[in-house]
Structure 1
Amino acid sequence: KKVRDFVEAEISIEPSKAPLKEVATFIDLMEVLSDETHAEAGKGVLREPDPSGKIEDRFSDHADFLLQEYGTYYSEYGSVLTETEKVGDLGAPRLRRLGLHLGTKSNQMLTSSGGDPGKALDKLVEFYAQTLQAHGKNSDEGAIRFFMLDQMIKCHVFPNPVQKSA
């Protein structure tokens, strides 16, 4: 009885902090992308790296670097992401909300990087790598980097500014 009373009085266990739902979606996705045993790992074939021309139009000074980065990582992670989006249990609403979250967070990083998408991309990767580690999840920076580049092309990361009508 004394031991139990002592333990209860002296040891407190803090409840684990649950991540935001959007971050939980990201964590789940990174676990899949980082799984080198996934059947689609390393099978990506890049056909059109910037179909809407977003990178070349908006970030023309950095386009070569960003497109080369995307192509480099696509061969390893592209097919896994495509397969996960098709048949994964993450669901369209979760991915859509993740896209909204990424838009806000990435614009903050882009602003703090003076508009340099390369620096902002590095900050995003570092931020989410730390987030994954804080939640005890294994991932790799390549998976995070590829996903951010993919989402940049899809206009979720560094979304284009809304044009104001006159």
Structure 2
Amino acid sequence: MIDREICLKDIADSLAYLSRQVEIYNCVNFYDINIVAEDFYANLLNLIYGYNLINLNVEEKNAPAIDLVDDINRISIQVTSDNTSEKIKESIRKFNEHEHYLNYDRLIVLMLTKKKKYRTIFDTDGKFSFNATNDLIDYTDLMKFIKAKSTKDLKEIKDYLNLELTDKMFQEKNTESSEIDTIIALIEYITKNRELKKNIDTVIDPEYKIKKRFKEFTERIVSEFTTLFTLYGEALEIVNDTLEIDEAQDIITIFYLQDISIRFLELANDSPIEALKLLVDYFEEKMSVNGKKYDRAAIKFYLVNEMIKCNVFPNERSEYNDSK
């Protein structure tokens, strides 16, 4: 993988990891990480956007409505782990109440956790312009902007994240991979080790596969996919966006997945549940030669998702036609 893709992978993994940590810590009423994140994001946003942000709370603890300010560009930022519409309304109300619009033209609300899809209209009483699409941001929005940066800039951002997150706060990342890192590592392994296989004449029909071909396992497959998608669906979306993977995957990769999954399905006597377990074991062992631990459930989710897309355990046309 080229340097640029490595940088993007590491950046996406670090930002997603921080977001999860904030969410987990806040669930147990541990909010110190929110305060640490203010300085962290001030420096990060300066690197990404070329801002001149400073942490206002250093000079004025619990400054109302805003945490980071750039007096040169007249930008203010509220850093929060509360992603509710009520919190946003409160930030706008306090911004107006303290007349921050006299010094700053823009209020950005930076969510430390994943933002929601807001239908609320946020009224500023005409004091300043607030666009929910551009002014409510989370780490996924940062990644969209970061992707357009030069490789040199990406390396600088990656180095900063490594220094502030990996080295200082989350050293366990060196030996344990997140779901994003796991899925990317799995894709990397497949890309590097795939072989050109003979094309198998297949039919893409997920409903037939789940409800008829594997009817004895339908309830189990649907239940596992639903549960795994809830946990890992967002991670896969981030991976696809970061690596710019679309639905039209490399045909060699598809052939590889079809071939290896058919072989394991035969070993499992046509049990997709047992074959999935064998596939997870296989990929986990192959990926772990460097001693790093990977998320088994993330590997399983990737494979189950590919099964739904009919790239794993494909419907061979001859059998498909015979069943009709």
Tell me what 1:89 maps to: 243
Report the Cα distance in structure 2 between the residues aligned to 1:39 and 1:96, rounded to whole angstroms.
34
1:67-106 to 2 correspondences below 5 Å: 67-85=222-240, 87-89=241-243, 91-92=245-246, 95-106=250-261
The CA RMSD measured in Å over matched residues stands at 3.4
| Alpha-carbon offset, residue 88 of structure 1 | 2.2
Report the Cα distance in structure 2 between the residues aligned to 1:73 and 1:155, rounded to whole angstroms.
17
Conserved 8 A contact 1:38-1:80: no
SS in 2 for 1:115: coil
Tell me what 2:210 maps to: 55
Report % sequence identity.
25
Report the Cα distance in structure 1 between the residues aligned to 2:229 and 2:291, rounded to whole angstroms.
26
Report the Cα distance in structure 2 between the residues aligned to 1:83 and 1:58, rounded to whole angstroms.
32
Tell me what 1:47 maps to: none
Bigger RCO (CA 8 Å, 6+ sep)? 1
Per-residue deviation, residues 60-112 of structure 1 (Å, max 9, x unmatched): 00011111111111111112212322x22264576543222111100000011
User: How high is the TM-score relative to the length of structure 1?
Assistant: 0.63
Tell me what 2:305 maps to: 150
User: Larger radius of gyration, structure 1 or 2?
Assistant: 2
Tell me what 1:129 maps to: 284
Letter in 1 for 2:17: T
Report the Cα distance in structure 2 between the residues aligned to 1:132 and 1:107, rounded to whole angstroms.
21
Q: Which blocks of at least 5 consecutive residues in structure 2 are unaligned?
A: 2-8, 24-113, 115-204
Report the Cα distance in structure 2 between the residues aligned to 1:90 and 1:108, rounded to whole angstroms.
29
Report the Cα distance in structure 2 between the residues aligned to 1:142 and 1:125, rounded to whole angstroms.
9
Structure 1 residues 109 and 74: CA distance shift in structure 2, 3 A = same
Tell me what 2:318 maps to: 163
Conserved 8 A contact 2:264-2:278: yes
Per-residue deviation, residues 48-69 of structure 1 (Å, max 9, x unmatched): xxx9413112200001111111
Tell me what 1:109 maps to: 264
